[in-house]
A and B are shown apart, each in its own frame.
Chain A
Amino acid sequence: MTKLNSKIPEGQIHEKWANYKAHQNLVNPSNKRKIDIIIVGTGLAGASAAASLAEMGFKVKNFCYQDSPRRAHSIAAQGGINAAKNYQNDGDSIYRLFYDTIKGGDYRAREANVYRLAEVSNDIIDQSVAQGVPFAREYGGLLDNRSFGGAQVSRTFYARGQTGQQLLLGAYSALSRQIGLGNIEMYPRVEMMDVVVVDGRARGIVTRNLVTGKIESHFAHAVVLATGGYVNVYYLSTNAMGSNSSAAWKAHKKGAYFANPAYVQIHPTAIPVHGEFQSKLTLMSESLRNDGRIWVPKKKEDAEAIRQGTKKPNDIPDEDRDFYLERRYPAFGNLVPRDVASRAAKERTDHGFGIENNPTKEGVYLDFKYAIDRLGKGVIEARYGNLFQMYEKIVDQDPYQTPMKIFPALHYAMGGLWVDYELQSTIPGLFVAGEANFSDHGANRLGASALMQGLADGYFVLPYTIQNYLADQIGVARMKPSERPEFKEAEEAVKAHINKLMSVKGTESVDSIHRRLGLVMWNKVGMGRTEAGLKEAITEIKALRKEFWANVRIPGSADAMNVELEKANRLADFLELGELMAIDALHRNESCGGHLREEYQTPEGEALRDDNNFMYVGAWEYKGENTQPDLHKEELKYEAIEVKSRNYKTA
């Protein structure tokens, strides 16, 4: 069994990154021109890495499946980005941001990575402001902050409810500048189909041009995957329709270990499901929990009456409302971390207190009445106006007048490809950044930390660590894919895979199978997991995969634009990844963060970790189709932090 080497640098926690940078290898400017780097994805991690590496002098090729790099789904992040600036003088520090992130992740993240993340968080804010990102400001002209879940300080920077958009457009502007200068070749509407490994190192990728259907190969000295998360395996999620796991999964099949696939985040505040043709779930930012109070009726008959439409939420007097987060977690109240808030919502709806008239009665209220009474409508409108407008367009109800209806929805993947401290996967030369890697959030991510991690990886980590890898690669001449058997073989395999998909010629649409996979995942690998349910899920996913390969229908041809083929290719990978997620969830006989095994909880319904047996990263090695993968363990050592059970009840 391979021993995972996380390559954590020597020294005290606060010295590690400085030590690394002081001793790493560098590539001199004239050699940088001779080195090619491929970056797949143009979200926060991909765009920031592409721009930064090109500015340094490397030749960069950047790929995205969308029509423009500015569309990447980072753009949809609403609430904000954390940094340890302590501009509010409320006791924040790098250590506290580090501590909150480790604790929020339920002690399942790697200490050294998280400390580095907190260290560079302040640089991200400086960088974004320098690019012209219009963060919210106070009247005195300085930057404003808001609070987010899992923290008792205000450290979140924001640009209305569009922080992801503004940060992404900042990174996109830096990327655009480098494209204009000729330092980056940009390939929009091109999807990565496989990684090419030459002599044990990642040396390029095979792609499909989504407009022409053409299969092509691209060489690079190093490859970066910044391809986002995989929660569209649940079909319904807050991710974009095109968000997919294929790049990561193909890399996994080529030798990159997949870490903690069972750790996914179910965000507590999305708009509830409304119908069978629903295509996606819309998030309502966590920032709303600053001013909104979450409740369900105390009496079941009231919940029933609301579902039937005979009572309105405003008919329920305060004394008959159960503000269950404030009741259960007095110290953090409505600002408990996401996993805790989601589980609490499920607990209430499981007991029959849900307020939405959908088949599963899934829904709770997020009420702004109290904040409007206290602050006035104007203040609430200034803070959340665009979110309220979005809600009204979708639900056709005015959240200033009647409470918002919300329910947890799949939102983010903490799991991802295993990487070491340098963000390098188990394939040398293959780096993984942003949501696509597993590294910083443990078993649960805190709000406003995804933007921080994506940009930390791209602006301030990869530009150093990739150089360290490339320093002894300067003698490697650029390869011509047409002359290398490894590239040809990979291309042929991709073509064969596509032909296999096209030749099924069955009767079921891709989406109809994907919806069914999503239901299995939501019901059995979702918010509450059991041994029996997970075993059933594995059997059902296997059967569905068989059905897919026997009966999927893809009209049109592979040699032209074919959206159904794109979706089928992604679903084929989800049908394998979904099984690995269930396997991982089944092996982890504990509850931690977003992973709740119903067998392992306290009498009050809090998650029960088993630190003696499960304080490790579970990294899975692919062993072939329909073969049980191998588990590799990276033990987690906590030296700077005392491991405790998570407590949000008292301060």
Chain B
Amino acid sequence: MSSKNINITVKVWRQQDAKSKGIFESYPLSNISTDSSFLEMMDVLNEKLVTENQEPIAFDHDCREGICGMCSLFINGHAHGPDSLVTTCQLHMRKFNDGQTITIEPWRSGGFPVIKDLMVDRSAFDKIMQAGGFVSVNTGGVPDANAIPIAQADAEEAMDAAACIGCGACVATCKNSSAMLFVSAKVSQLALLPQGKIEAARRAKNMVAKMDELGFGNCSNTGACEVECPKGISLAHIARLNREFLCAKVKE
């Protein structure tokens, strides 16, 4: 590991609130360690802004270990930046060069309105989950966990889908602002398991209807979402969602 320090220029989208117009502001930063994370670089910038009595840049983040899904950021044209299979909080400055200009934008989608600066409102994802992203069981009165054997391959594929962190990179990347990868991950996870199979068609129908209602676009199979997904959620889940959705329609 060779640690060094680099100088960079950060070009950031600043927007006071949902109603205001936003603009790009540029900030030079010197002596950033390549071992620091991208968000630690943002911390340094914010610390500097506070010292200068300016308002720091608002951005969402929480766990800083790539699992909570709260961080976002469109960095140099890529959701979660130039590295693959990482969230912004796991991105490190060693992926950037001395003298580079780094452009940082919020997720841009009609479904995710900007709240402030780089922070967006992703509550639409919660609403889609509330429409059907569950197995309808109450607490208590369920069978023993080993009463339902599940083939290991099915459990593993369900786990692949369940790894979705709900960050919204797929929507931000899609030219149609489609939420199909997000929706398909949940539909697919539960359709693969006997517990979820029972209401699979109904679930697909309700979640897709909610997604359409909230203004997310259609999937045109470009596969951009899969490339930018920090958890490597596969497009194959969209195919399974389409199958379940068709089933639901045929039954009607």
Contacts and interface: CB of A to CB of B under 8 A. Distances in A.
Counting chain A residues whose Cβ lies within 8 A of the other chain, the interface size class is 35 or more
A174 B64 contact: no
B250 interface: no
A240 B115 contact: no
B139 A397 contact: no
Contacts of B90: 390, 393-394
B236 interface: no
Contact of B145 (A66, A125, A172): A125
Interface string B51-93: 1011110101111111111100000000000010110001010
A76 B68 contact: yes
Contacts of B131: 180
B155 interface: yes
Interface string A218-243: 00000000000000000000101110
B152 A511 contact: no
A376 interface: no
A633 interface: no
Contact of A242 (B53, B62, B83): B62
B86 A393 contact: yes
A309 to B, nearest CB: 10
Interface stretch (B32-40, B98-106, B169-177): B32-40
Interface string B122-166: 110110011111111111101111101111100110110011011
Interface string A483-516: 0000000000000000000000001010110000
B67 A76 contact: yes
Contact of B62 (A71, A395, A512): A71
B159 A555 contact: no
A51 interface: yes
B239 interface: no
Contacts of A128: 145
A459 B53 CA distance: 47
Contact of A75 (B67, B92, B142): B67
A174 B134 contact: yes
Nearest to B64: A280
A87 B146 CA distance: 9
B115 A211 contact: yes
Most chain B CB within 10 A, of A162, A173, A511, is at A173
Nearest to B49: A555
B83 A393 contact: yes
A71 B133 contact: no
Contact of B139 (A55, A72, A165, A563): A55
A334 B204 CA distance: 46
Interface stretch (B6-14, B189-197, B217-225, B241-249): B189-197
B130 A177 contact: yes
A52 B137 CA distance: 10
A188 B129 CA distance: 15
B116 interface: yes
Contacts of B85: 389
Interface string A403-414: 000000000000
Given A52-B139, A127-B142, A393-B92, A241 B67 contact: no
A73 B67 CA distance: 9
Contact of A129 (B43, B138, B139, B195): B195
Contacts of A560: 17
A7 interface: no
B152 A138 contact: yes
A164 B142 CA distance: 21
A123 interface: yes
Nearest to A74: B68
Nearest to A405: B1
Given A127-B139, A131-B137, A561-B115, A275 B35 contact: yes
A134 interface: yes
Nearest to B16: A560
Interface string A556-568: 1000110110000
A160 B137 CA distance: 24
Interface stretch (A29-37, A139-147, A345-353): A139-147
B163 A162 contact: yes
Contacts of A561: 17, 58, 115-116, 119
Contacts of A87: 146
Contacts of A241: 61-64
A12 interface: no
A394 B92 contact: yes
A132 interface: yes
Interface in A436-482: 459-460, 463
Contacts of B137: 127, 130-131, 174
B121 interface: yes
A173 B68 contact: no
A165 B67 contact: yes
B50 interface: yes
Given A137-B150, A211-B115, A389-B85, A55 B138 contact: yes
B135 A131 contact: yes
A162 B160 CA distance: 11
Contact of A126 (B126, B145, B152, B165): B145
A474 B113 CA distance: 42
A134 B152 contact: no
A64 to B, nearest CB: 11
Given A173-B135, A555-B55, A560-B17, 20 more contacts: A55-B139, A68-B126, A70-B126, A70-B166, A87-B146, A132-B196, A142-B149, A143-B146, A162-B67, A173-B134, A186-B126, A277-B40, A278-B36, A279-B39, A282-B65, A390-B65, A390-B66, A394-B92, A511-B43, A561-B119
20 contacts: A55-B138, A66-B62, A67-B123, A68-B125, A73-B68, A134-B159, A174-B139, A176-B126, A177-B134, A179-B126, A180-B132, A238-B65, A240-B62, A240-B68, A274-B35, A274-B36, A282-B64, A389-B85, A459-B139, A563-B56
